[in-house]
């Protein structure tokens, strides 16, 4: 049954991160053909943005060592976007050579995580990102700025909102065309989400440029998503099957499952363009490849219902 709530958008863009964020922690090497087949199935299910891979050093994230091969095999369909993550200028050059048309950089809202993830201090990270953003924009590439640890940090605890706002402003000033607010360890609650988005808008960042990226560590991802939608957010990151986390923060458990998100948005009458049954089938297929059940509650529920029919 569809039962809308007042104050929510008519449509939401899902930024699918499963092939990159969802698979990067897998300890067993996944063949390139499996990754690209997963992407094709996600696209067939109606997802318009699928973050395909990351051009990081293979010794940092071995699972993504085949980034160039994945990009070469991406389906080329009108209206579909396949952004890739690049950590630095070398990564951008490799992504450009491989044929990527859209990139993202990955910043931190805290000092400790910046040093652990980027080997840079909080005040030094922009010196690494600025030439990446400049070069990508000069080529006409959109650049998304991920901001991790926006709501809490496992080493530093609660993160002051003005500190997050400053990092976001720095990224926009450097030329990023969009932002993604990361609840990397899943500690955000709806009031905190609303307050941070309000601070960003008050600082002059258009709400249309802001996306959200929630982890479900404490079961708050969907509640936080509703709070974000109430603030005008229309781009939500999610990972098919609920796969993924962060290789540099062990307390960062699974991402918000795309299927759980679509189930909720369908029930609210919010258009995503996604065929939930096809999406569930794609995640169930990948779960079979990985040899374990999907973490997504909706995948498990619909798969069980289908088995009993």
Annotated catalytic sites, by residue? Answer: 246
**Contact indicator for 42, 35 with CB cutoff of 8 Å:** no
Q: In sequence order, what E strands does 163-262 have? A: 178-183, 210-214, 235-238
Distance CA 20, CA 119 (A): 21
Distance CA 88, CA 85 (A): 9
**184 HSE (CA, 13 A, CB side):** 26
Bridging pattern class, strands 157-158 and 235-238: unpaired
Q: CB count, 10 Å around CB of 37?
A: 16
SS3 of 268, please?
A: coil
Bridging pattern class, strands 49-50 and 53-54: unpaired
User: What are the structure tokens assigned to 112, written together?
Assistant: 């400790």
Counting every residue written for the chain, the total comes to: 309
Contacts of 93 (CB under 8 A, 6+ apart): none
SS3 of 104, please?
A: strand
């Amino acid at each position: 049954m569809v039962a809308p709530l007042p104050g929510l958008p008519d449509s939401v863009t899902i930024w699918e991160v499963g092939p990159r964020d969802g698979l990067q922690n897998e300890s067993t090497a996944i063949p390139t053909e499996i990754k690209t087949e997963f992407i094709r199935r996600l696209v067939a299910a109606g997802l318009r943005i699928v973050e395909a891979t990351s051009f990081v050093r293979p010794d940092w994230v071995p699972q993504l060592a085949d980034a160039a091969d994945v990009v070469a095999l991406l389906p080329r369909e009108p209206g579909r976007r396949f952004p890739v993550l690049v950590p630095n200028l070398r990564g951008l050059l490799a992504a450009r050579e491989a044929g990527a048309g859209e990139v993202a950089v990955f910043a931190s809202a805290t000092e400790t995580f910046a040093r652990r993830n980027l080997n840079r201090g909080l005040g030094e990270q922009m010196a690494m990102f600025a030439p990446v953003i400049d070069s990508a924009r000069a080529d006409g590439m959109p650049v998304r700025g991920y901001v991790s640890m926006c709501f809490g940090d496992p080493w530093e605890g609660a993160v002051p909102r003005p500190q997050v706002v400053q990092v976001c402003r720095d990224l926009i000033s450097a030329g990023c065309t969009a932002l993604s607010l990361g609840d990397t360890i899943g500690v955000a609650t709806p009031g905190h989400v609303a307050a941070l988005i309000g601070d960003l808008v008050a600082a002059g960042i258009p709400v249309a440029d802001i996306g959200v990226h929630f982890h479900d560590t404490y079961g708050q991802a969907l509640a936080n998503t509703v709070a974000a939608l109430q603030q005008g957010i229309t781009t939500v990151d999610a990972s098919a099957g609920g796969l993924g986390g962060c290789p540099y923060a062990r307390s960062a458990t699974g991402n918000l499952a795309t299927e759980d998100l679509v189930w909720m948005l369908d029930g609210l009458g919010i258009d995503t363009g996604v065929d939930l049954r096809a999406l569930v089938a794609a995640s169930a297929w990948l779960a079979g490849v990985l040899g374990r059940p999907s973490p997504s509650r909706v995948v498990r529920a619909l798969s069980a219902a289908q088995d009993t029919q």
